[in-house]
Structure 1
Amino acid sequence: MELIDYPTLKLLWWLLVGVLLVGFAVMDGHDMGVGTLLPFVGRSDIERRVIINTVGPHWDGNQVWFITGGGAIFAAWPLVYATAFSGFYWAMLLVLWALFFRPVGFDYRSKIDNPRWRSTWDWGLFIGGFVPPVVFGIAFGNLLQGVPFRFDANLVPYYEGSFWQLLNPFGLLCGVVSSAMITCHGAVYLAHRTEGVIQARAARWAQACALVVLAAFSVAGLWLARGIDGYVITSAVDAAALPDPLAKTVVVAPGAWLANYARTPAAMLVPAAGYLGFVLALLLVRGGRTFAAFWCSALGMAGVIGAAAVSMFPFVMPSSLAPDASLTVWDSVSSHRTLFIMLVATLVFIPIIILYTRWAYSVMRGKVTAAYVKENSHSAY
């Protein structure tokens, strides 16, 4: 355990949680993007079956990133987990209810050859793909504005907002950014795995969504710079101390979310990666280079998510109600031993997950066609 000191472990887990969130966005995100596009790109039953079969064999494996990310937050940042699930309780339930449509929709959609039955599940898969990214984006937007929570003397969190307060203009704008980038990523993947009219429609959606991401991300950045106050720790911070979120002084200051970029200009590479990734994805998918476009889209998502993280660092969950109670990288974590044991487990299992995922995708690579679905009507989705 002494091999890595406590402050370094805290930083490593900030990075690892970010990696897991980006992994979830890239891997489960393209599944959700395909689900969002299903009722619009697929014009007939056979076209929609082709679309579903591009992600059908993989979507449940990709959920591992979602589960792992949630588990990492629970174990590494227990105060963040407890406070977030108190404050965002109904939002998280909305995500879970939407996700219920995915396993049932994939498994039952094609079991009955009835247009109304299949159309109902198509819209269920749309809900399961569209709602979670929007809610996650709204949650990030509210984190940047500060969440109305406080702690009592026993560090019991109290949330004093409501679900409807989350649906503020900036939060909704961040929901647009999140939904557009996930849909763009799904459209690029769909263009890579299909051909003909489905591929052409998916490519058009990818280009349109990339433009929406670039525009909405720019507006959100300007809004954050000029209209939303950030948080600053003004007291001394002992990075090696045991977690105590009430043992610091925090002030709210205009432009504070941009301070990290002023202190470390190299940090500008993170949002720049967001712009570069989606610009390249747009150009590459237009030129038919869909595989490269997929990874450029992934780079863009990493840049967008990373930009929010860099702006907020070291804050993880700022409090608008009691700024001193804001949760940071230094005071919301588990014990030294817990972080070290989790790090060892992560370094063992994440490479296994990546290698298995790579193998699974290589086995099922290639285009999904209408002929394939018709020839395998009983085994295909």
Structure 2
Amino acid sequence: MIEFLFEYESLRVIWWILLGVLLIGFAATDGFDMGVGALLPFVAKTDAERRVAINTIGPVWEGNQVWFILGGGAIFAAWPALYAVSFSGFYLAMFLVLLALIMRPVGFKYRSKRPDPAWRTRWDWALFVGGAVPALIFGVAVGNTLQGVPFHFTPDLRPVYEGSLFGLLNPLALYCGLVSLAMLVTHGAAWLTFKAEGSVAERARAVGTRSAIITAVLFAGGGVLVWLGLLGGYRVTSPIVWDGPSNPLVKTVVADSGAWLANFHAHPLLWIVPALGVAAPLLAAAGFQARLEGWTFLASKLGVAMIIATVGLAMFPILLPSSSNPGHSLAVFDASSSRTTLRNMLVATVIFMPLILTYTAWVYRVLWGKVGEKSIEKAGSSAY
């Protein structure tokens, strides 16, 4: 069994799965932080209410953001070609994301330094930008990935990106951005109903009900776009050598409008994943109305996981398709690091990931309980 896991083809698939786990972990944890930030101007009307909303995520947002670092690190180490193309091609979009994410810790730290209402309002809007902009841009990036990114490799495997920031902001990509934004707003609302008390929780419940329904409708609409062939697709036509060298130039890929549905047609049980991607937000909407706070948050988290998993399963084995030269697309079997690198990383992951998860669970256990205006007044200056 151990020998099978350490075979090159097995390691490539395992790291494709782990990359998906890390992305889902980031969206399921830091996603509700971003959702709370995006909701801040709409669910909290007074300074006390805004402090309640902020303090539901204040103690955990830094730990949640570690998943973002882990995901980027995994791409860099396990899929270096993917890292080189995506982080250079999406450079300006990534810069906007990082700029927005930088505004979040600054907002947390500086908001309560002065009692001036205008001062605090400015930082509240900084927290809004730090939540809403990344949630939108991450979806835009996924939308561009599904359509294909204009890049190619030179004969010495140097990536050349041919697009621009405004090219990334196309209608279909923005549609995916709206799916992402609605999904994370729902997740943030579910967290607020779970952790906050009073008017903040009530407003979050009302907003979350609507955003959950919008998430389900938009995601189902995206499925219709794929079904109609409007979102494109790419398919590997040459024989796949799973234990071959990492060289994206030795395969043949064609653009095919029905390619993103091929895996679901070949393995009908996979349809459960997108079905849950539609059903889970609707369950969350019902949970909001039934005031089942814990179940609502779990349903929202399930929806996040299934929506992201749907994209991964649709594209497999392609990681990043090239719209300008499909044959240069990056795939699971030709864009990975060496067998030794993947093996050593897997050993480190098996050792340290349980420790990270255990510590995270302990932190949430220590911070268990709701946040209300009375608890904020009691905490005084120690709260955000």
Code of the aligned partner of 2:134: P
* Partner of residue 257, structure 1: 260
Report the Cα offset of residue 254 of structure 1: 2.0
Give 1:167's aligned residue: 169
**Which residue pairs with 2:342 in the alignment?**
339
Counterpart in the other structure of 2:103: 101
Corresponding position of 1:363: 366
Residue 71 of structure 2 is aligned to residue 61 of structure 1: no
* 1:2, distance to aligned residue in structure 2 (A): 4.9
**2:75 aligned with 1:110, yes or no?**
no
Which of 271, 275, 278 pairs up with 2:278? 275
Q: Could you list the per-position Cα deviations for residues 311-346 of structure 1 after superposition, in whole angstroms to 9, with x for gaps in the alignment?
A: 111111000011000000111100001001111111
- Equivalence for 2:221: 219
Which of 248, 251, 261 matches 2:251? Answer: 248
Residue matched to 1:327:
330
- Unaligned residue ranges in structure 1 (runs of 5+): none
Kept after mapping to 2: 8 A contact 1:244/1:331: yes
1:20-62 Cα offsets, whole Å, 9 max, x none, are 0000001101111111111111000000001111000000011
Contact kept? 1:243, 1:334, Cα under 8 Å: yes
Separation in 2 of the partners of 1:76 and 1:269?
Answer: 29
| Aligned counterparts of 1:2 and 1:194: Cα–Cα separation in 2 | 49
- Which stretch of the first structure deviates more once superposed, 173-182 or 277-286? 277-286
Moved more, 268-277 or 182-191: 268-277
User: Aligned letter for 1:12?
Assistant: I
Paired with 2:371 and 2:235, the residues of 1 have a C-alpha distance of 51
Residue in 1 aligned with 2:92? 90
* Map of 2:127 onto structure 1: 125
> Separation in 2 of the partners of 1:86 and 1:375?
48
Q: In structure 2, give the amino acid aligned to 1:348.
A: I
Give matches, 1:1-16, under 5 Å: 2=3, 4-16=6-18
Q: Residue in 2 aligned with 1:21?
A: 23
Alignment of structure 1 residues 222-233 onto 2, 5 Å: 222-226=224-228, 227-233=230-236
Partner of 1:146: 148
Kindly indicate whether the alpha-carbon contact (under 8 Å) linking 1:150 and 1:325 is maintained by their aligned counterparts in 2: yes
Q: Match for residue 80 of structure 2?
A: 78
> Match for residue 135 of structure 1?
137
Corresponding residue for residue 44 of structure 2: 42
* Paired letter, 1:323: P
1:198-235 CA distance string (max 9 Å, x none): 11101011111101101111111111221132111111
Count matched residues: 381
Partner of 2:179: 177
Partner SS state of residue 160, structure 2: strand
Tell me if the contact between 1:228 and 1:255 (Cα under 8 Å) persists in the aligned partners. Answer: no
Task: State how far apart, in whole Å, the 2-side matches of 1:185 and 1:144 are.
Answer: 24
- Verify the 8 A CA contact 2:172 2:231 in the aligned structure 1: no
Secondary structure at 2:382 match in 1: coil
Paired with 2:191 and 2:97, the residues of 1 have a C-alpha distance of: 23
Q: AA paired with 2:350?
A: L
Aligned partner of 1:191 in structure 2 is 193
- Contact 2:216 2:279 (8 Å CA) reproduced: no
State the alpha-carbon separation in 2 of the partners of residues 276 and 291 from structure 1. 17
> Is this contact kept in 2: 1:170–1:220, CA < 8 A?
no
TM-score (norm 2): 0.98
Q: Distance in 1 between matches of 2:231 and 2:98?
A: 30
Give the Cα–Cα distance (whole angstroms) in 2 for the partners of residues 229 and 20 of structure 1.
26
State the identity as a percent.
50
What is the correspondence of 1:296-315 to structure 2 with a 5 Å cutoff?
A: 296-315=299-318
Shift of 1:128: 0.5
The DSSP-based 3-state class of the residue aligned with 2:375 is helix
Moved more, 192-201 or 80-89: 192-201
TM-score, normalized by length of structure 1? 0.98
Mapped partners of 2:349, 2:284: distance in 1: 31
Letter in 1 for 2:249: L
Which structure 2 residues correspond to residues 285-300 of structure 1 after superposition, within 5 A? 285-300=288-303
Structure 1 residue identity aligned to 2:76: F
Please identify, of 143-152 and 267-276, the stretch whose mean Cα deviation from structure 2 is larger.
267-276
Conserved? CA contact 1:41–1:201, under 8 Å? yes
> How much has 1:8 moved relative to structure 2?
0.6
Matched residue of 1:158: which SS? strand
3-state SS of paired residue (1:100): helix
- CA-CA distance at 1:276 after TM superposition: 2.1
AA partner of residue 287 (structure 1): A
